[in-house]
Structure 1
Amino acid sequence: MRVVGIIAEYNPFHKGHEYQIRYAREILGADYIVIAMSGDFVQRGAPALMEKHLRAEMALLGGADLILEMPVQTVTASAEGFAAGGVSLLDGLGVVDELCFGSECGDTETLMNIAQILVKEPFEYRKLLQQNLRTGMSFPAARSSALIRYMREKATSAHNTFGVSSEHIELILSSPNNILGIEYCKALLRLNSRILPHALLRKGSGYHDTDFSLLSDEEFPSASGIRSLMKKSEGTVQSADLSRLIPSASLPGFLDSLKKGAWLSDSALDLPLHYKLLLESEETLKMYPELSDARIRRILKSRNQYEGFSQFADLLKTRDITRSAICRSLVRIFLDQKTKAPGHIPYARVLGFQKNSAPLLSQIKKNSSIPLITKAADASAILDETALRLFNETCAASSLYEMLLCHKTGQPFIHEMKKPLRII
């Protein structure tokens, strides 16, 4: 049995994701494909476009065999924490042979070489990184600059083992999916995992592209572009336009949610986040992990200027911190999330699976080092105290998401514990 794992958000699931699953099946020879997926909040610091069970169903219809939910603490972490959590979850199953991830370069060897530097942190690299941070650079920018200088110096030495130009390294480090791919490789190295990385070359739109008119049949949209299209059109996108972006098997569920207005953008947090911020004090804000004293002061000083989630994130942004990091902080405050992202995910919660994947589930139950949860109500009997806290916080976040969705659509509230698995 050959099993390929994918770490994804499917926000939303589109034709590029379908292509990746097909590639894992046809080129990598996967008998089964397991997805570690974000739940109702996502890593860029926002509610997911559509709820997690629908996104899981769309992925199953698009060819995946098993969808597992990553805890909310993982998906609201930095790229490093997100990748470490996803890799930990797949590794804990004991059956995954290969991790397939999209990247702008498709160069697994170079991504692994960079990851090894970041894991080992040679003295020369650490020195360059600290010099950059002292100038006020954001951590991602400081790290990128230090890596480029370090690898350039090594490339000109007699001991060059990289085989690529510094210009190529600079291009790799300026692309978001390459950066995430490096984090996946780092996580695999730190776990000494048996899972092999495989970088798949992305085709089509760039991460932030919103113009799909020039896409050929061999190119794919970006999830970010689809979200922007939804927000600009206020959900009135024509089904004919979406048929070019969303796989045909997954499209009906997407269109049904669109018709019901059952989708969210970050503007859904405008009012509830403002309310939550007004309840906070310096003492309570210090309880949130990774929230620096400087950011706390900035939040408290600026909250009377609050107009909305997006506007406030722009207001808080500084030269040394990315906007995505600000958004993640605000989402964690909204969710009252005071637990650090776990380096190790201690359970695997199933959101959905294919009926014919019974042999895969049997192998996971036989080989997994972490419990498999197929019924949310069973968690309290299966998990230890630490794992149960992570699980309950994730369920609480999904209940808040459901609240926002019900407020928008007028649909009845369904508690997280009562939502059924999606079985295809």
Structure 2
Amino acid sequence: MKVVGIIAEYNPFHRGHEYQIRYAKETLGADYVVIAMSGDFVQRGAPALMEKHVRAEMALLGGADLVLEMPVQTATASAEGFATGGVSLLDGLGVIDELCFGSECGDTEILMDVAEILVKEPSEYRNLLQQNLRAGMSFPAARSSALIGYIQKKIASGLNTLGTSSEHIELVLSSPNNILGIEYCKALLRLNSRIIPHALLRKGSGYHDTDFSLLSDEKFPSASGIRNLMKKSEKAGQSADFSRLIPSASISGFLDSLEKGAWLSDSALDLPLHYKLLLESEETLQMYPDLSDALIRRILKSRNQYEGFSQFADLLKTRDITRSAICRSLVRIFLNQKTKAPGHIPYARVLGFRKSNAPLLSQIKKNSSIPLITKAADASSILDENALQLFHETCEASNLYEMLLCHKTGLPFIHEMKKPLRII
């Protein structure tokens, strides 16, 4: 039995994601595909477009066999924390053979080579990194520059082992999916995991492109582009055609949520985040992980100028901290999330599965080093104290998401502990 894992957000699930699952089965020979998916808040620092069970069902209808939820602390972490948590979750199952992830270069070997440099941190690279940080660069920019400088020195001395130019490495490091792919490779190396990485060449429209007129069977939409199209359509009071963007097998749930207005954008946080920020002080803000003293001072200094989530994130942005990092920090404040993203995910919570995957579940139960949770009510009896805290914080975040969704739609509130699995 061969099992391929995918780490995803499916925000929303679209044709490119369906292609990746099909590739895992048809080209990589997977008997089963297991998804580690973000829950109701996502890595760019925002509420998910649609509720996690809806997105899980779309993935199952699109070919996935099992969808597991990443804890909210992992789902809203930096690229490194997100990748570390996702890989840890899949590795803990004891059945995953390969990790398939999209990248702009599609070159697994180069991504692994770069990951090895970052894991081993040679002294020459580390010195360059520290110089860049002292110069005021943000960490992503400082790391990219240090890597390029390190490789240039190796090329100049004739010791370059990457078999590629510094210009090519610079191009690789300028693309978001390549960067995330490197983080996956780093996590696999640090865990000494038996899982083999596989970079799939990403075929898609531009990251923010909403002009889908040129899409073909070999070119897929971006999730960001679909979200932007939804916002533009809502603002214009017009409906958009999503039939070419969302797989036909999965589109019913998407359209149902769209018809009910059961989807959220960043603006859903405008009012509740403002309220939460007004309650904070320097002492309480220092309790949140990854909030620098500089960002804390800017938040306190600028909060009287708050107009909305996106506007405030723009206001806080500086040269040495990225907007996405600010958005993640603001989301953690909204969620009152003071637990750092764990390096090890101590449980696997099932959001949905296919009835036909009984052999897969049987193998997971036999080989997994972490408990499998199929009923939320069972968590308190099978998790230790630390794992239970992660689980409860994730459930609390989902209840806040549900509150926002119900406020928008007028639909009745359903507590996280009472939401059923999606079974196909």
TM-score range, shorter chain: over 0.9
Matched, 1:129 2:168: no
Partner of 1:67: 67
> 2:246, 2:400 → 1: CA distance?
27
Q: Which amino acid in 2 is paired with 1:375?
A: K
Q: Encode CA deviations 1:179-201: one digit per residue, 9 max, x unaligned.
A: 00000000000000000000000
TM-score, with length taken from structure 2: 0.99
Matched, 1:390 2:407: no
Partner of 1:23: 23
Structure 1 residues not aligned, in runs of 5+: none
Task: Output aligned runs, 1:98-177, within 5 Å.
Answer: 98-177=98-177
User: What is the CA distance between 1:231 and its match in structure 2?
Assistant: 1.1
- On the 8 A contact 1:274/1:308 being kept in 2, the answer is yes
Q: Encode CA deviations 1:116-139: one digit per residue, 9 max, x unaligned.
A: 000000000000001111111100
Matched, 1:311 2:311: yes
Q: Encode CA deviations 1:325-366: one digit per residue, 9 max, x unaligned.
A: 000000000000000000000000000000000000000000
- On the 8 A contact 1:155/1:162 being kept in 2, the answer is no
> 2:55, 2:66 → 1: CA distance?
12
User: What is the CA distance between 1:237 and its match in structure 2?
Assistant: 6.0
> 2:296, 2:195 → 1: CA distance?
40
User: What is the CA distance between 1:408 and its match in structure 2?
Assistant: 0.1
User: SS state of the match for residue 91, structure 2?
Assistant: helix
User: SS state of the match for residue 152, structure 1?
Assistant: helix
Matched, 1:412 2:401: no
Q: Which amino acid in 2 is paired with 1:36?
A: A
> 2:207, 2:164 → 1: CA distance?
24
Partner of 1:350: 350
Structure 2 residues not aligned, in runs of 5+: none
Cα distance change, pair 237–99 in 1 and its aligned pair in 2 (3 A)? farther
Partner of 2:331: 331
User: SS state of the match for residue 50, structure 2?
Assistant: coil
RMSD: 0.9
Partner of 2:79: 79
Partner of 1:228: 228
Q: Which shifted more, 210-219 or 67-76?
A: 210-219
Q: Encode CA deviations 1:228-256: one digit per residue, 9 max, x unaligned.
A: 111111186646x2011000010111001
Partner of 1:88: 88
- On the 8 A contact 2:68/2:351 being kept in 1, the answer is yes
User: SS state of the match for residue 206, structure 2?
Assistant: coil
User: What is the CA distance between 1:165 and its match in structure 2?
Assistant: 1.0
Matched, 1:373 2:381: no
User: What is the CA distance between 1:324 and its match in structure 2?
Assistant: 0.2
User: What is the CA distance between 1:160 and its match in structure 2?
Assistant: 2.1
User: SS state of the match for residue 68, structure 1?
Assistant: strand
User: What is the CA distance between 1:204 and its match in structure 2?
Assistant: 1.9
Partner of 2:209: 209
Q: Encode CA deviations 1:67-124: one digit per residue, 9 max, x unaligned.
A: 0000000011100000000000000000000000000000000000000000000000
- On the 8 A contact 1:36/1:86 being kept in 2, the answer is yes
Aligned identity (percent) is 87
Partner of 1:192: 192
TM-score, with length taken from structure 1: 0.99
User: What is the CA distance between 1:157 and its match in structure 2?
Assistant: 2.5
Q: Which amino acid in 1 is paired with 2:311?
A: Q
Cα distance change, pair 257–237 in 1 and its aligned pair in 2 (3 A)? farther
> 2:112, 2:207 → 1: CA distance?
22
User: What is the CA distance between 1:161 and its match in structure 2?
Assistant: 1.2
Q: Which shifted more, 288-297 or 270-279?
A: 288-297
Q: Which amino acid in 1 is paired with 2:368?
A: S
User: What is the CA distance between 1:412 and its match in structure 2?
Assistant: 0.2
Runs (4 or more) in structure 1 with deviation over 6 Å come to none
- On the 8 A contact 2:233/2:239 being kept in 1, the answer is no
User: SS state of the match for residue 242, structure 1?
Assistant: coil
Q: Which amino acid in 2 is paired with 1:184?
A: Y
> 1:17, 1:368 → 2: CA distance?
26
- On the 8 A contact 2:11/2:50 being kept in 1, the answer is yes
Q: Which amino acid in 1 is paired with 2:328?
A: R
> 2:378, 2:125 → 1: CA distance?
47
